[in-house]
């Protein structure tokens, strides 16, 4: 069968560097760090005392108090970003076939704050169960997609995706496939995460995964820098409206870019460490290029997973050079996690949004906080250090890799009739 074309017609963002898509892009373009001291809880006894939190967000701007209390913050974030994307795209169940409008949402952890608070509350009752009746529906990851479909009346495909830090990229790929196979006209997709909690930070600290640069949090996320010492936790959400091209064209929708490919692979190596030679990362990028029917030389920009970890950054750089060969030196590469921190299950959608906006604006956002070259990286690679670079971006790729060896990559290109 002939596959249908899929385009992006709406974006929404709630991030540590801006609470709208426009503010998010401005933050990235200007190299703003979203890291600061944690305000969500007392960090006195924690090794890491900072994160990239969402700032100046009031859930009552999008939900009434009664409804908000029935939801975990990761759902609040999902709704806030999705409201933006739905408005941006100009779609509604009333004006379209609701059975062909879907929601495929993602989170890597979900209602961690709810789970922690309920268990702490139980511990204080000497074993007497006094759980909130909304405990389970606040916590489960799929409830985000459920709430979004109820809110907008979308009755098409509806589920959530979980693959750690690759979750929302997998959600994008699922949405892409449903539309190009003709199973839906429009799908709201993306991811949200709210894991800046005692158990989230404490758990990643126990793994020695987080930066402990408490004296200078704004420069703590240092992808590809010699002195990188772990990732910085982020939180927030990104929403993307994917739509069948002819459906979008018929209604005169504004189109940001075309989604043209998605790849998936597994490292099959280790629960948390990447394959040292980047085998899974190589395969996922090759799979995405094959799916998009593209040659590696067509690529302009890669928004890398680039978490600022000693092993992960090296593995990904090796993979890029294997896949793109000499063309790797013509690419712009950047890690926007240097600014937003790592949004875990929401990272993929947020970084895909950065790729889409790079195509739209002809600007590659930087990898900030680069101070010292690491001899492990080829100096001829352009990591877009410290300052955004103007460039016509016709094709962009976003990489995400999750604990468990889950790899997912997506490709977007400027629309061609």
Residues 6+ apart with CB under 8 A from 45: none
Containing 279, the helix (H) or strand (E) segment is helix 279-291
Cα–Cα distance for residue pair 119/17, rounded to 1 Å: 32
C-alpha distances (whole Å) from 29 to each of 83, 225, 339, 358 are 24, 20, 10, 9
Residues 6+ apart with CB under 8 A from 95: none
Cα–Cα distance for residue pair 404/407, rounded to 1 Å: 9
Active site residue 342: yes
Of the residues 305, 355, 370, 406, only one is catalytic, namely 305
Phi, psi of 385 (to 5 degrees): -70, 130
Beta bridge partners of 8: 242, 257
Cα–Cα distance for residue pair 3/18, rounded to 1 Å: 36
86: nearest Cα among 4, 154, 177, 27:
154
Cα–Cα distance for residue pair 140/407, rounded to 1 Å: 23
Phi, psi of 104 (to 5 degrees): -125, 105
- What sign for the dihedral angle of Cα 69, 161, 188, 356? positive
Tokens of 223: 């992808």
Residues 413, 394: contact at Cβ < 8 Å? Answer: yes
Phi, psi of 367 (to 5 degrees): -100, 105
Strands 236-244 and 6-14: antiparallel
Cα–Cα distance for residue pair 289/324, rounded to 1 Å: 11
How many other C-beta atoms lie within 10 A of the C-beta of residue 286?
17
Tokens of 341: 């921190």
Of the residues 342, 355, 370, 406, only one is catalytic, namely 342
Cα–Cα distance for residue pair 311/186, rounded to 1 Å: 38
Of the residues 165, 260, 282, 355, only one is catalytic, namely 165
C-alpha distances (whole Å) from 360 to each of 86, 192, 260, 343, 392 are 19, 24, 16, 23, 9
Beta bridge partners of 402: 406
Name the residues annotated as catalytic: 165, 305, 342
């Amino acid at each position: 069968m002939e596959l249908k074309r899929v385009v992006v017609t709406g974006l929404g963002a709630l991030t540590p560097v801006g609470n709208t898509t426009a503010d998010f892009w401005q933050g990235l373009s200007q190299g703003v760090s979203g890291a600061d001291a944690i305000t969500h809880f007392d960090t006195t006894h924690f090794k890491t005392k900072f994160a990239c939190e969402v700032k100046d967000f009031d859930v009552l701007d999008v939900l009434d108090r009664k409804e908000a209390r029935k939801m975990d913050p990761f759902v609040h974030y999902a709704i806030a970003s999705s409201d933006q994307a739905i408005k941006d795209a100009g779609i509604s169940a009333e004006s379209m076939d609701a059975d062909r409008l879907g929601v495929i949402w993602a989170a890597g952890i979900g209602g961690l704050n709810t789970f922690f608070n309920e268990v702490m509350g139980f511990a204080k009752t000497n074993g007497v169960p006094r759980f909130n009746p909304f405990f389970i529906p606040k916590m489960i990851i799929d409830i985000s997609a459920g709430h979004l479909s109820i809110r907008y009346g979308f009755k098409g495909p509806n589920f959530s995706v979980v693959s750690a830090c690759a979750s929302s990229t997998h959600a994008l790929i699922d949405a892409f496939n449903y539309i190009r196979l003709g199973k839906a006209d429009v799908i709201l997709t993306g991811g949200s995460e709210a894991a800046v909690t005692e158990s989230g930070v404490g758990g990643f600290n126990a793994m020695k995964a987080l930066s402990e640069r408490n004296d200078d949090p704004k420069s703590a996320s240092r992808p590809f820098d010699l002195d990188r010492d772990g990732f910085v936790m982020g939180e927030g959400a990104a929403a993307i409206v994917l739509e069948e091209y002819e459906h979008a064209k018929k209604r005169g929708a504004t189109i940001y870019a075309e989604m043209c490919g998605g790849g998936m692979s597994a490292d099959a190596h280790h629960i948390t460490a990447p394959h040292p030679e980047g085998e899974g990362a190589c395969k996922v990028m090759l799979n995405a290029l094959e799916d998009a029917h593209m040659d590696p030389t067509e690529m302009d920009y890669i928004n890398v997973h680039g978490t600022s970890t000693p092993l992960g950054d090296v593995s990904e750089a090796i993979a890029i050079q294997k896949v793109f060969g000499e063309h790797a030196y013509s690419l712009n590469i950047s890690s926007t996690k240097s600014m937003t921190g790592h949004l875990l299950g929401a990272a993929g959608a947020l970084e895909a949004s950065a790729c889409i906006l790079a195509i739209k604006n002809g600007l590659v956002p930087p990898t900030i906080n680069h101070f010292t070259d690491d001899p492990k990286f080829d100096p001829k690679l352009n990591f877009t250090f410290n300052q955004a670079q103007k460039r016509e971006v016709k094709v962009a790729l976003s990489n995400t890799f999750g604990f468990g060896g889950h790899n997912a990559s997506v490709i977007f290109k400027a629309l061609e009739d």
